[in-house]
Amino acid sequence: MKNLVILGAGTAGTTVANMLRKKLPSDWSLKIIDPDKEHLFQPDLIFIPFDMQTPEKTIRPRKDTFGKGIEWIQRQVQQVDADNNQVVLDGDEKVPYDLLVIATGCNIRPEETPGLLGEEWQRSIFDFYTLEGSIALRDALKKFDGGRVVVNTVEMPIKCPVAPLEITFLAESFFTENGIRDNVELTYVTPLDGAFTKPIAAKALGGILDDRGIKVEAEYNASEVDVDRKVLRSYDEREVPFDLLITIPTHMGAQFIEDSGLGDDLAFIPTDRHSLLAKNHDNIFVLGDATDLPTSKAGSVAHFQAEVVVDNVLHLIKGESPKAVFDGHANCFIESGYGKAMLIDFNYDTEPLPGVYPVPGLGPMSLLKETRMNHLGKLGFRWLYWNALLPARPLPVPNRMSMLGKRPPAGWGVIGAVEGAGNAA
Ligand SMILES: Cc1cc2nc3c(=O)[nH]c(=O)nc-3n(C[C@H](O)[C@H](O)[C@H](O)COP(=O)(O)OP(=O)(O)OC[C@H]3O[C@@H](n4cnc5c(N)ncnc54)[C@H](O)[C@@H]3O)c2cc1C
C-alpha cells in the first residue's frame, strides 16, 4: 500500500480529502491528521460579537465532515521528517507517507506583541479570530455604552484580510442601531497605506470608512500596548488611546513547521505559486493558510487550490509532472453593515475590479459595490460551505479567475494588470 497523508482537517485539508477519496487508485491509503474534534466555520466569527450568529451554529463534529474511505487520525503533528518521508505525532508515533499534503493553516499569536496578553486581555482588549475571543467580545459589547474603539491589525499577513474592515463596519452599524454611535469614536488602525492593498478596492472601502466617520491611522506598525494608560504604541512612537481595543494579532503557521525547518520567519511554507508543491520538495504539496503565497488567506482560495492539488497528486501518481495552473484566484464577501455587503474577485495579476459575479451580465452579485444581494450571498455561503464546498460537491464556479463580467475603469491595465496585483495577503 502507498500512503497519501494530509496534515490538518480544516477547510483545505478536508476539501482535498473529500475530493480525493473516490479518485485515488485502490493501492493508495488516505489519512488525515488533526487533533481537534470540531470543525469551525471561521467566517461566522465576525457575526458572533453582534449576536448575528450563535457560537453553537459555527461548529460541527469533525467526524461528520469526512466521506467514506478517509482515515482520520485524531492526533497532533509534532514534526515532518522530510528526509525519511514520515510524520512524527505526539507520543513519538511515526506515520510514513509517499505523498504529503500540508494544510495546517495559521493562528493568531498575541504573545508576539508586548502588553496584548496582559491583564486587559478579554477585559478591554479582544480578538475575534478565535471562538473564545469572539464570544468575549460579544459579551463586552453588550455592556459597552461609549468611548474610544480601536480596531488594529498588528502586521500582515493575516487570514481573511478584509475581516478587520468587516468588524469595523459591523461595529459602526451596531453602535448606530443601538443608539450610541454619537458616544463612540471609532478608529481603524492598519499597517497598510489605506483601507486595502490595491488602489481600486482601497478607494471603494476607504470611501465607506470616510462616509461613516471612521478615522483611519495608516502605515501603523504596532509595537506594544501600554496597559496602564490603555494606549496602543507603534514603532515610530505614535500613540492611539483606546477604551476597547479589537486586535488582529500577528499570525503564524503551526509550531511543527518551525520545528521541522520547513517555514519562513512566520512559519509559512515557501510554496511554488502555480503548482503548489513545497519549494525544494517534490512529494509535498501545501495549500490554504499554511503557504507563503501572495494571495489572500481565505477559504475560497483554499477551495480553488484544492482542485489544483488534487489534479497534481493524481499526475504524480501516474508518473506525470505536476501542472503549474494555480493563478492566485480569491474571492471574498465584505460585510459592510446595515444588511449589505461587497464582493471582491481577483488573482495574482488582477486587482479587485467592479462588475458582476459569477454570471457575466447577470450576477446576481455585484463586485466592489454594497448591495443587499451580496449580504444574502454571504449568509448563503454558510449553507454552501457545509453542504457543497467541504463535501467536495461539484460547483459551477470556475477555478481560475475570469475577466468576464468585470468592468475595468478607464486607464486600467497600466497599473492594474501587473504581477502581484492580487497580493492582498
Ligand atoms: C474572522 C475570520 C473571518 C473569515 N472570513 C472568511 C470569509 O468570509 N471568506 C473566506 O473565504 N475565508 C474567510 N476566513 C478565512 C478562512 O477561514 C481560512 O482561510 C480557511 O479556513 C483556511 O483553511 P485552512 O485549511 O488552510 O486552515 P484551517 O481551516 O484553519 O485549518 C487548519 C487545520 O489544521 C489543524 N492543525 C493545526 N496544527 C496542527 C498540527 N500540529 N497537527 C495537526 N493538525 C493541525 C487545525 O486543527 C485546523 O483544523 C475567515 C477567517 C477568520 C478567522
Q: What is the pLDDT of residues 141-167, one digit of tens each?
A: 999 999 999 999 999 999 999 999 999
Q: Which numbered atom of ligand 1 lies nearest the CA of 106?
A: 30
Q: Which numbered atom of ligand 1 lies nearest the CA of 41?
A: 17
Between 203 and 3, residue with greater pLDDT: 3
Q: Which numbered atom of ligand 1 lies nearest the CA of 15?
A: 25
Distance CA 283, CA 102 (A): 11
Pocket test for ligand 1, best of 44, 126, 289 (most atoms within 8 A of CB): 289
Q: Which numbered atom of ligand 1 lies nearest the CA of 335?
A: 8
Q: Which numbered atom of ligand 1 lies nearest the CA of 163?
A: 3
Residue whose entry in the numeric block shows the C-alpha cell 467541504: 390
Query: What type of residue sits at position 283?
Result: N
Would you say the CB of residue 352 lies under 6 angstroms from ligand 1? no
Q: What are phi and psi of 312, to 5 degrees?
A: -70, -35
pLDDT value, residue 413: 66
Give me the percent of the chain exceeding a pLDDT of 70.
Answer: 97
Pocket test for ligand 1, best of 34, 48, 130 (most atoms within 8 A of CB): 34
Pocket test for ligand 1, best of 44, 104, 333 (most atoms within 8 A of CB): 104
Distance CA 328, CA 423 (A): 9
pLDDT value, residue 398: 77
Residues 6+ apart with CB under 8 A from 376: none
pLDDT value, residue 416: 46
The answer to whether residue 422 scores a pLDDT higher than 50 is no
pLDDT value, residue 417: 46
Would you say the CB of residue 10 lies under 6 angstroms from ligand 1? yes
Would you say the CB of residue 309 lies under 6 angstroms from ligand 1? no
Q: Measuring from atom 17 of ligand 1, which residue has the nearest CA?
A: 42
Cell, residue 228: 496602564
365: which strand partners? 357
**Per-residue confidence band for 282, with pLDDT thresholds at 50, 70 and 90:** very high
The answer to whether residue 288 scores a pLDDT higher than 50 is yes
**C-alpha 203: how far from chain center:** 22
**Cα–ligand 1 centroid distance for 210 (angstroms):** 31
Would you say the CB of residue 186 lies under 6 angstroms from ligand 1? no
pLDDT value, residue 184: 98
Query: Which range has the worst mean pLDDT, 199-208, 222-231, 368-377?
Result: 199-208
pLDDT value, residue 377: 94
Instruction: For 387-398, write each residue's pLDDT tens digit.
Output: 999 999 987 777
pLDDT value, residue 397: 77
Would you say the CB of residue 286 lies under 6 angstroms from ligand 1? no
Give me the percent of the chain exceeding a pLDDT of 90.
Answer: 85
**Per-residue confidence band for 351, with pLDDT thresholds at 50, 70 and 90:** confident
Would you say the CB of residue 6 lies under 6 angstroms from ligand 1? no
Query: Which range has the worst mean pLDDT, 44-48, 154-158, 193-197, 328-332?
Result: 193-197
Would you say the CB of residue 161 lies under 6 angstroms from ligand 1? no
Distance CA 228, CA 222 (A): 17
Between 360 and 45, residue with greater pLDDT: 45
**Per-residue confidence band for 423, with pLDDT thresholds at 50, 70 and 90:** very low
Residues 6+ apart with CB under 8 A from 16: 6, 101, 103, 287, 306, 309, 310
The answer to whether residue 424 scores a pLDDT higher than 80 is no
**Cα–ligand 1 centroid distance for 89 (angstroms):** 20
Across the range 264-274, mean pLDDT stands at 98
Q: Measuring from atom 23 of ligand 1, which residue has the nearest CA?
A: 11
The answer to whether residue 421 scores a pLDDT higher than 90 is no
Cell, residue 152: 488594529
Query: What type of residue sits at position 243?
Result: D
Q: Which numbered atom of ligand 1 lies nearest the CA of 8?
A: 34
**Cα–ligand 1 centroid distance for 226 (angstroms):** 31
Distance CA 184, CA 222 (A): 22
The answer to whether residue 203 scores a pLDDT higher than 60 is yes
Would you say the CB of residue 253 lies under 6 angstroms from ligand 1? no
**C-alpha 7: how far from chain center:** 18
Across the range 367-386, mean pLDDT stands at 95
Instruction: For 225-257, write each residue's pLDDT tens digit.
Output: 999 999 999 999 999 999 999 999 999 999 999
**Cα–ligand 1 centroid distance for 228 (angstroms):** 34
Q: Does residue 192 contact residue 218 with C-beta atoms inside 8 Å?
A: yes
Give the alpha-carbon dihedral of 74, 76, 78, 80, to 10 degrees: 50
Would you say the CB of residue 334 lies under 6 angstroms from ligand 1? no
Q: Which numbered atom of ligand 1 lies nearest the CA of 378?
A: 8
pLDDT value, residue 365: 87
Instruction: Residue 297: name the closest of 189, 423, 109 by CA.
Output: 423
